[in-house]
A and B are shown apart, each in its own frame.
Chain A
């Protein structure tokens, strides 16, 4: 299956003074793939993700995201990606609809397509009655779904999810992953960092980062075979046992 490559980076390195946060990162992600980006705290996940999103310039190395160069076309990249952070950041004082409308406008959607897309999204999420409720008044699980909707309403090529399920109960997490699968089946590439190793099993492929480098990269099945492990948890412990950074 030779699907189009959406993220391709080679030897991506980011140094802060003498500290190398990300060390020669090389990977490729295909369209529609759910790519799990694992690593302990401090392994360099966030720094790597910031470079892929065009928020931070690499010290050296090269790559493309959604077909645009991360060194020269950061602004174009921003137009073609979606981003959701671990804090479900939305404007608490604005209503559900005002939040969606704001982000859709920022991504250049027309008023007509915003109306159509939000109507459809409210229907799928079963949130029609919450349209005019301020975000601060809706439960955490809904906020998270809403944040994902805000990040994907403009149908980006890639959506970056930075620990999207932190602090959420298991059943809500499962429902959230259903949303991720739906997005992926529509051709959206999902680049997700997570702390939950059971979630890693849901990904098509996984990379495990240790001390700024990718130590392992394969499908969950492949990794388990390679490290003779029964679960992803064991794989992670074997791969990350020599880690010097993080916890």
Chain B
């Protein structure tokens, strides 16, 4: 067996025998995907609506019928105007529609409980579209790429951006630093093994582990979560591999800075996890951030990866549409690798 093979064998055995870690690593992506895909949903269902009608006409009847038949709404009945506030306050309804007729013309007012702003905004949009379609001024909205507005479509790229940083950067850095702590790294450094072989002996097993996780995530996304499957999956894989290499390089860089496993965990946790969640566009759209934060988000690798994944996985556009993202990620990979190797060698 060559030196390189025996180092990889060592790492794989080590990983396989660390039962808890390997379980967490394989179970976490599945749990996250299912949680975000099903349980945590930004879709709004069962909006409870009441109506105030000053003067019943065919038009008001027609609109109310539409609410009754719409699966997104539960129509709670017609109420007098002065009761609206108390009904909303008691939570018996989420929104009320007030119909007034002046000079034979129907006008409407929407009163909505905005204690949850997201819910309020979404409900208002739904309400308006129902009213508009009934009053004959139809607003045609085409939701492209995600016609049912499924939240899973939005979260899958984000979760992938998070998982690979977590597994590659955190696990590699912790495993290298733990060898520094126990002193085995010193044994390898005094041995005839070249530093390059040591580095790759560490990176390759985690790269393979990431590939297994990628397969797991893709299978789940395309089956259970129902993402549209097409040939663009090949591009998804390529760009993810690039991102994994970048994350591994980041892990290597952290391991050269941190001297204990705890500090490696903290550095990867604080420096990567929080920005990934807050600034990458995974939850909060980058376009809505203050300009300064938009600039800051440019240095977060996950921002570029997630944006590329949205294009490739959800929109399923050809790889040409994510050239900027690929270029930025490649540049980052190169820079981080050079920095990490420089720091690794600087110890002499």
A-B interaction: yes
Are A134 and B192 in contact, with the CB atoms below 8 A?
Answer: no
Task: Write out the residue numbers on chain B whose beta carbons fall within 8 Å of the beta carbon of A48.
Answer: none
B-contact bits for A87-105, CB 8 A (1 contact / 0 none): 1011111100010011101
List of 8 A-B pairs having minimum Cβ-Cβ separation, nearest first: A89-B183, A87-B183, A83-B190, A105-B6, A93-B17, A79-B192, A89-B184, A78-B192
Task: Tell me whether A103 and B191 are in contact (CB under 8 A).
Answer: yes
What 1/0 flags go to B152-186 for Cβ under 8 Å of A? 00000000000000000000000000000011101
B287 within 8 A of A: no
Quote the shortest CB–CB distance from B343 to chain A (angstroms).
16
**Cβ contact within 8 Å between B187 and A89:** yes
User: CA of A108 to CA of B13 in the docked complex: distance in angstroms?
Assistant: 21
- B83 CB-CB contact with A under 8 Å: no
**One of B6, B184, B190 near A55 (C-beta < 8 A):** B190
Given A56-B348, A78-B191, A106-B193, also A101-B6 (CB < 8 A): yes
Since A103-B191, A106-B6 are in contact, a sample of 14 more A-B pairs with Cβ atoms closer than 8 Å, ordered by chain A residue number, is A54-B190, A55-B186, A79-B192, A87-B183, A89-B184, A91-B14, A91-B184, A92-B182, A98-B10, A98-B13, A105-B3, A106-B192, A111-B1, A150-B187
Against A, the Cβ 8 Å flags (1 = close, 0 = not) of B224-266 are 0000000000000000000000000000000000000000000
Whether A102 lies near B190 (C-beta < 8 A) is no
A184 on the interface (CB 8 Å rule)? no
Pair A107/B183 contact, Cβ less than 8 Å: no
Smallest beta-carbon distance A38→chain B, Å: 21
Q: A90 — which chain B residues lie within 8 A by C-beta? A: 184
Instruction: Count A interface residues, CB 8 Å.
Output: 31
Residue of A nearest to B189 (CB): A55
Note all chain A residues with C-beta closer than 8 A to B184: 89-91
A106 to B2, CA, bound (A): 8
A234 to B69, CA, bound (A): 99
The reply to whether the CB of A12 lies closer than 8 angstroms to some CB of chain B is: no
- Chain A residues contacting B13 (CB-CB under 8 Å) are 93-94, 98
Q: Verify if A53 is at the interface (C-beta below 8 Å from B).
A: yes
Is the CB of A183 closer than 8 A to any CB of chain B?
A: no
B interface size (C-beta, 8 A): 24
Judged by a CB distance under 8 angstroms, whether A236 is at the interface is no
- The residue on B at minimum CB distance from A49 is B190
Q: Do B187 and A85 touch (CB < 8 A)? A: yes
CB-defined A-B contacts under 8 Å, sample of 20: A54-B190, A57-B348, A78-B190, A79-B192, A83-B191, A85-B183, A89-B184, A91-B14, A91-B184, A92-B182, A94-B14, A101-B6, A102-B9, A103-B187, A103-B191, A106-B7, A106-B188, A106-B192, A106-B193, A107-B191
In the complex, which residue of chain A has the Cβ closest to the Cβ of B184? Answer: A89
In the complex, B102 has a CB within 8 A of chain A: no
Within 8 A of B (CB), among A99-143: 101-103, 105-108, 111, 134
Residues of chain B contacted by A111 (CB below 8 angstroms): 1
Contacts of B18 in A (CB 8 A): 93
Whole-angstrom distance from the CB of B55 to the nearest CB of chain A? 80
Contact of A87 among B2, B6, B182 (CB under 8 A): B182
Are A94 and B10 in contact, CB atoms less than 8 angstroms apart?
Answer: yes
Closest partner residue, chain A, to B18 (CB atom)? A93
**Shortest distance from the beta carbon of A77 to any chain B beta carbon, whole Å:** 9
Which residues of chain B have C-beta atoms less than 8 A from A106's C-beta?
3, 6-7, 188, 191-193
The residue that B192 contacts in the complex, of A56, A101, A107, with Cβ under 8 A, is A107
* Contact yes or no, B10 A108, CB < 8 A: no
Interchain nearest-CB distance for A98 vs B (Å): 7
Per-position binary interface string of chain A over residues 157-168, scored 1 when its CB falls under 8 Å from any chain B CB and 0 otherwise: 000100000000
Complex CA gap A107/B193 in Å reads 8
Give the residues in chain B near A56, CB-CB below 8 Å.
348
From residue A109, how far is it (CB to closest CB) to chain B in Å?
11
A75 at interface by CB-CB < 8 Å? yes
Which residue in A53, A91, A107, A134 is a CB contact (below 8 Å) of B10?
A: A91
Interface string of A165-178 (1 = CB under 8 A from B): 00000000000000
Residue A192, interface by CB 8 Å: no
Among residues 1 to 32 in chain B, which have CB atoms less than 8 Å away from a CB atom of chain A?
1-3, 6-7, 9-10, 13-14, 17-18
User: Is A7 engaged at the interface, CB distance under 8 Å to the other chain?
Assistant: no
What's the least CB distance linking B115 to chain A, in Å?
Answer: 53
